[in-house]
Structure 1
Amino acid sequence: MGILIYIIKSLYRFKWWLIILPLLVVGIVIYETRHMNRVYESDMTIYTGVISTNGNDLSQTTAQDWNILKNSLLNIINTISSKETLRTVSLRLFARSMINGDPGKDNVYISAEHYKELLKITPKEVLKLIDKSSEDRTVENLKNYEKVDADNFVYGLFNWNHPYFSYGALKKLLIKQVDNSDILSVTYENNDAGITYQTLNILSEVFADEYRTLQYGNTNNVIKYFEAELARIGKDLFLKEDSLTNFNVRNRVIHYDKQTEAITMLDKDYAIREQDALAARDKAKATINQLEVGIGENVKSIKNNAQFLAKLKQIGDINYSISQIESYQADSSFLTLQNPDDTLLKLKSKLKEQESDFKGFIDDYSSQKYTRNGYPNANYVVLWVDELLKLEQAQAEIEVVNNFKKELDNMYSHYSPIGSLLKRQERGINFTEQNYLAVLGGLNAARLRLKSIEMNSATLKVINPPTFPLNSKPTKRKMLVAGSYFGTLFFLLGCVLLLEMLDRTLRDKFRTERITKGKVVGAFPKNNLGRYQKDIEEIASKTIANQLFGYYSSQKPSNYINILKLDPFLDTQDLQQRIMKEWQEIGLHVGILEEGTHFNATSREFLVMGGLLEQIQSLGNDLTFVVHADLSKVPVPADYLDHASVNVLVLNAQAVWKEDDEEAYRDLLKRIGNTPLVLCLCHADRFTIETFTGMLPPYSLLRKLEYKFSQLGITASKG
């Protein structure tokens, strides 16, 4: 509560500032707003059809959600408020105002006053562009004249700060969705009724065209992009397919997987045939070797016979040809016969003839009838010849198989890299084909989107056109006046409170105790309180005297009060005399000892010998004032401070509490021992003194009310 009273008293000190300055500001605001512009408002509503026509989008495969619908509405709102749309409105609005304006009277296009102001700022070369007979030609002339230049008037209309035609003025259009419907509400206000009406009127004409242009332009660009990509990817696809065809032709590939499978099967078959032929050859060789042992020397002559060798070679050649033909018949897709006339049947028949001839030659050639073992020689030769023929047949088979395996190895070498190359080209074709189909799908979706835009754009209609405003909106003059008053008042209150928080001037009891952390027992007035000065001084001194007498002790041999000060220019004589007079009037013996008059503070007797205490006792007074010099100049021994009834530090209420004062005060607190140290304020104002004395004269009704409210006695019936 004490803090609250202190704040109220602090504000009361600045009461004239808080009363006069806000009223002065209010007067200035009232004067400056005497010709305040009136504001006219008009609105219109637009049906978008975004929500109602949901599902009519041909490119849409699933139902739209609310986020998509909200986004569509935002696109329309942003198109209406876009810079390009507002630029078109600005040019048309200027052209319409210049064509239809009348300097003699207001009309539905522009007021006479504002039209005359517009004529003043419009250059002559721009006035020549105005075609009174056609608004479209005027707009076209203005577009041709406009260029990006700070000195170009038409360019500046939209980009400067004109109140009607600039972007800053037109962007104040308020566009919002009505509830959750398809309808948009567009509101605009300005200080000219005609301009307000015509702005919305022109906007209702151009916004749909701007929306269609924007939507069509984007979609057409997408369609052109997809068409170009489709042609490029299609050409790439055809080239890759032709490259694959040529690759198959060059490498004789019809069906790669089946061809490679056939080669693998042939390789397996010929491996088996080779094993069989090798087994037959080894068997024939073993039998021949055994029979040659039985035949003896005849075999050498037979082997050395040229006719024998020739016939044996012919039989081997025929066996090779037969084996080769039989091998080629297994898969005729790889090889063809070099001589079609040598059919398999002829060769087999010829082989029989040659074998028969060979056997006859051997029979005729044989010269011995019996072998060395006694067996008929002819039987051995026949067996030997048969085995020899088998050997030739087996060797021919082995040679054919080896030759064909070489051809199979060549086929492996040929077809192995073809597989990876084929897969690479097929992957490329597949990837290009997928891209082609994706681009084709995008192109179809874009074309469907174009048709959907045509359908949706047809639903953009103004259902409630703008109306010409006849009455202006209530002005904000009252709010400005009230705001200026309370704004100034709160600003002053903030400054006062900030000042109270930062100011270190002692001034009153609350602030002094807060800054010094000491106890204030009284305050003595300054010398400008008018005709009640003496009365106030008397009341204040009596209060201080009563407070100080409370420290009197009958147990002490002598009671004295140290009067201390930190300011060498502070005069405490009047305060001392007033207190002494109060005590003397009630019969107390009071004396006073002043430094420089009754004792010397710089003498050894005072500083060391304690002569001041003996001097006080010799006076025999009930109370004695001991007035010391400035503490910063003359030291006071601790014994004098400790034996006193009370130590009174007198401070100037109008002085600032400095850092050196703080240090001296702390030092004093250390040296006083158990003796109290109290503070007393001099040169205090009325409110500070009333803290100790209560209400001071005069006691008029106004003063009583003022004091009652300062003490928060709002409903008190008695002061």
Structure 2
Amino acid sequence: MSLLQFLRLLGRHAALLVLVPLAMAAAAFWATRDLPREYAASATLYTGFVSGYSIDSENGARADYLTTQTAFDNLIQLIKSRRAVEHVALTLLAMEASGELRLEDYDAQEATGLVRTVAARGGRASTEATYTRFAAQKNEIESPVYAALYVDPSPFNVSTLQGAIQANRVGNSDMVEVRYNAPDATLAQVTLQILLDQVVTEFREMKTRETSDIVAFFEEETAVANQSLRSAVSGMRDFGVRNRIINYYEQTKYVASQKEQLDHEVQQEQMALAASEGALRDTERRLSEREAVLIQSESVAEQRRALSAATARLARAEAIAIPAAPGEKAPASGAADTATVDSLRAELDSAVRGLHRLTHSEQGVSRSTLTGAWLEHATTVTEGRARLAVLRQRRDEYQRVYDVFAPLGSTLNSLEREVDIAEGTYMEMLQSLNLARMRQKSLEQSANLDVVAAPERPARPLSSKRPLLVAVAFMAGLVLCVGSLLGVEILDQSMRTPERAAEVSGLPLAGAYPVAPATETLLKPLDAQFLRNVALALRERDAQEPQLVVVASGQSGEGAGFVAARLAERFAARGRSVRYLAPHAEGGATAYEVSDAFPETETPDELASGVPGNTASGAEITILELPPVLDAPLPLGLLAHADVTLLAARASRSWSTADAHTAEALERASGHAPHLVLTGAQPMRLEGLVGDLPRKRSGVRRLAKRLARFEFSR
């Protein structure tokens, strides 16, 4: 649909486009005759969600857009939440019932009459006591408090409050503006005051409640971890005291080094003893039998045993003695043993030398030398055996220490692992607790909503919405009418225009005529086109005189008679002799009878032969109007002689299957496709054939038409 067609559609239904919007505007004007006045109060909250200080901002964290927007959405939903609005409604009802709230611009007697009745039963009480009593009755369906909150249409109704409270973020700032419209100035101010107090309290509690449970959990877990750590440390301490462990690793290191040193000393002593024993055996072998007997004498043997005992005591004392510090004296027992050994050695040496003073060995060695060597080796062997025994005893003691310390090490390692695990758990819980407390502090810091602009009592009511509602009703009616007209136009399946008729039917278009009555100014170009198309069709058929033009229609009322009469009239006006045959006598037609023999008619003369007074048998062209095809049989023989077949169809209906069958029957009977003639079309829809309709137009109208067609060049 073009713009020009759209404007013409509106022009055809101008009355509807005016009356329906006016009726809706009048209805809106009447419905809003008792519209109450409204007072608007507003307040501004500072949130600090973006620019406010917090621990996260101190750490350099950037504000996330989605997080910030979610925070503002949560706050706005909290402001309009049902719990907050119910608290406001109950508080207002309690203040009204207790007389603390006095409304000047709104008669609250109707809205709160039942509530005042309830308050009167309990006597005049404070607002807090009244609020408590109303809160206990708010869920009782039969109570007047429930009716005032959820049923009665009043400013104290929860649904009314939720719809009247508006909260929006101010631009991209940290501010949130809260607005409320009420029928009373005092009510608007007090409602916002109560709402802001409730929202600030609930917001702080909500933010604190988010982290208080987490902090309590980590405090409990930290206490458990601390107790486990203390238990592990106490167990390790008791284990050390019980086993006399000062520093296990240093003690075991010292024991290991001492044992290694002792093993070395034992090995060295064994080597020295083996050497001494070998030297003693060699010396004894060199001595003669006499010396051996002498040595085994009772006195020498007794002195030798005494010397051996003294030497052993001295060696044992030296092995286990603690070295004296510089400047201190050696123990008295050690000095006495040394003196005894020296004395016995001197006595034994003197005795042996005295017995063998002048004797020598068999190898030529002096006997005194061998005796001295033997004595020395014997003393050395005795001392080595004594020291070796003492060292072995000490080695056994260190082995027993090893046996004690070996199991203690694994137990101590297990205890240390328990302490490490307990300490790690405690440190982790402590760190989590600190983070939770830091987060809690940050949320508490950000949960402080500040009322930077407190609600004030409005001085004057808002401008009435009545003109706006009337204008909206008018526009709604206009849009409804335009939409309905467009919908009908788009959904209309009728042929409407010659172009659409030719498209949907698939037949060549011979002409079109407007709905009656039509002016001769419009009919003249249409007649010219119609006659031209028929003449062209006759020439294409190479029709010889007399020529036969058949005009048919699918059903009655399609305008076939008008088309046939118009065609006969125009051909006659051109000076041609015309015979017009029709099943009726209207429009100058020669009527013929549609009898049972009609389908068998072969020529127009056979039809005209039964008409009294017919003398036009020598006409150049015969216009034959057939009865409706769907109501009467077709004269197949007559149609076989037709030069041009015309099918009339009204523009106000759609092309149906019956029309297609009619066109097909005419084509099969005549041997060529019929030409379509559209009748009853709206004059403005015929511009596709005749161009601009011949009528007088003002300059403004011509200019508007050119603009609607987007014709801007002159």
Kept in 2, the 8 Å contact 1:123–1:153? The answer is no
Q: What amino acid does structure 2 have at the position aligned with 1:583?
A: F
Q: What amino acid does structure 2 have at the position aligned with 1:114?
A: A
Structure 2 residue 498 is the aligned partner of structure 1 residue 501 = no
The structure 1 residue matched to 2:456, chosen from 466, 474, 487, is 466
The structure 2 residue matched to 1:490, chosen from 479, 483, 486, is 479
User: In structure 2, do the counterparts of structure 1 residues 424 and 324 end up closer, same or farther at CA, with 3 Å as the change threshold?
Assistant: farther
Equivalent position of 1:337 in the other structure: none
Equivalent position of 1:549 in the other structure: 535
Question: SS where residue 187 of structure 1 aligns?
Answer: strand
Q: What amino acid does structure 1 have at the position aligned with 2:566?
A: R
Question: SS where residue 37 of structure 1 aligns?
Answer: coil
Kept in 1, the 8 Å contact 2:182–2:188? The answer is yes
Equivalent position of 1:338 in the other structure: none
Kept in 2, the 8 Å contact 1:278–1:398? The answer is no
Kept in 1, the 8 Å contact 2:106–2:183? The answer is no
* 1:100 CA drift (Å): 3.9
Equivalent position of 1:655 in the other structure: 653
Map 1:626-641 to 2 at 5 A.
none
Distance 1:357 1:630 in 2: 176
* 1:484 CA drift (Å): 2.1
Give deviations 1:51-98, integer Å, cap 9, x for gaps.
Answer: 9x978x999977999889999999987876665554443223112323
Which 10-residue stretch deviates more, 581-590 or 265-274? 265-274
Distance 2:372 2:131 in 1: 129
Which 10-residue stretch deviates more, 162-171 or 230-239? 230-239
Q: What amino acid does structure 1 have at the position aligned with 2:18?
A: I
Equivalent position of 1:388 in the other structure: 381
Q: What amino acid does structure 1 have at the position aligned with 2:485?
A: V
Distance 1:204 1:555 in 2: 93
Distance 2:416 2:690 in 1: 112
Equivalent position of 1:23 in the other structure: 22
Question: SS where residue 94 of structure 1 aligns?
Answer: helix
Give deviations 1:85-127, integer Å, cap 9, x for gaps.
Answer: 54443223112323449xxxxx9515564323431x4484454
Q: What amino acid does structure 2 have at the position aligned with 1:496?
A: L
Cα RMSD, aligned residues only? 6.3
Kept in 1, the 8 Å contact 2:554–2:658? The answer is no
Equivalent position of 1:246 in the other structure: 238
The structure 2 residue matched to 1:572, chosen from 538, 546, 560, is 560
The structure 2 residue matched to 1:118, chosen from 112, 119, 124, is 112
Map 1:400-549 to 2 at 5 A.
400=393, 402-407=395-400, 409-410=402-403, 412-428=405-421, 430-431=423-424, 434=427, 438=431, 466-469=456-459, 471-513=460-502, 515-516=504-505, 520-525=509-514, 529=516, 543-549=529-535
* 1:128 CA drift (Å): 1.9
* 1:429 CA drift (Å): 5.4
* 1:272 CA drift (Å): 3.3
Among the aligned pairs, what percent are the same residue? 17
- Which runs of 5 or more structure 2 residues have no equivalent in the other structure? 325-330, 584-592, 604-616
Kept in 2, the 8 Å contact 1:201–1:466? The answer is no
Question: SS where residue 381 of structure 2 aligns?
Answer: helix
Distance 1:645 1:397 in 2: 156
User: In structure 2, do the counterparts of structure 1 residues 221 and 516 end up closer, same or farther at CA, with 3 Å as the change threshold?
Assistant: same
The aligned length equals 665
Map 1:138-153 to 2 at 5 A.
138-143=130-135, 145-146=136-137, 148-153=139-144
Distance 1:408 1:261 in 2: 12
Kept in 1, the 8 Å contact 2:511–2:526? The answer is yes
User: In structure 2, do the counterparts of structure 1 residues 363 and 61 end up closer, same or farther at CA, with 3 Å as the change threshold?
Assistant: farther
User: In structure 2, do the counterparts of structure 1 residues 25 and 227 end up closer, same or farther at CA, with 3 Å as the change threshold?
Assistant: same
TM-score by length of 1: 0.68
The structure 2 residue matched to 1:265, chosen from 257, 263, 270, is 257
The structure 2 residue matched to 1:168, chosen from 159, 163, 176, is 159
Map 1:78-89 to 2 at 5 A.
85-89=84-88
Q: What amino acid does structure 1 have at the position aligned with 2:399?
A: K
Q: What amino acid does structure 1 have at the position aligned with 2:498?
A: K
Kept in 2, the 8 Å contact 1:90–1:158? The answer is yes
User: In structure 2, do the counterparts of structure 1 residues 573 and 361 end up closer, same or farther at CA, with 3 Å as the change threshold?
Assistant: farther
User: In structure 2, do the counterparts of structure 1 residues 648 and 79 end up closer, same or farther at CA, with 3 Å as the change threshold?
Assistant: closer
* 1:579 CA drift (Å): 1.0
User: In structure 2, do the counterparts of structure 1 residues 706 and 74 end up closer, same or farther at CA, with 3 Å as the change threshold?
Assistant: closer
Equivalent position of 2:608 in the other structure: none
Equivalent position of 2:587 in the other structure: none
Q: What amino acid does structure 2 have at the position aligned with 1:575?
A: V
Question: SS where residue 431 of structure 1 aligns?
Answer: helix
Distance 1:599 1:230 in 2: 115
- Which runs of 5 or more structure 1 residues have no equivalent in the other structure? 102-106, 331-340, 607-617
Question: SS where residue 553 of structure 1 aligns?
Answer: helix
* 1:586 CA drift (Å): 0.6
Equivalent position of 2:38 in the other structure: 39
Distance 1:585 1:447 in 2: 105
The structure 2 residue matched to 1:325, chosen from 291, 295, 320, is 320
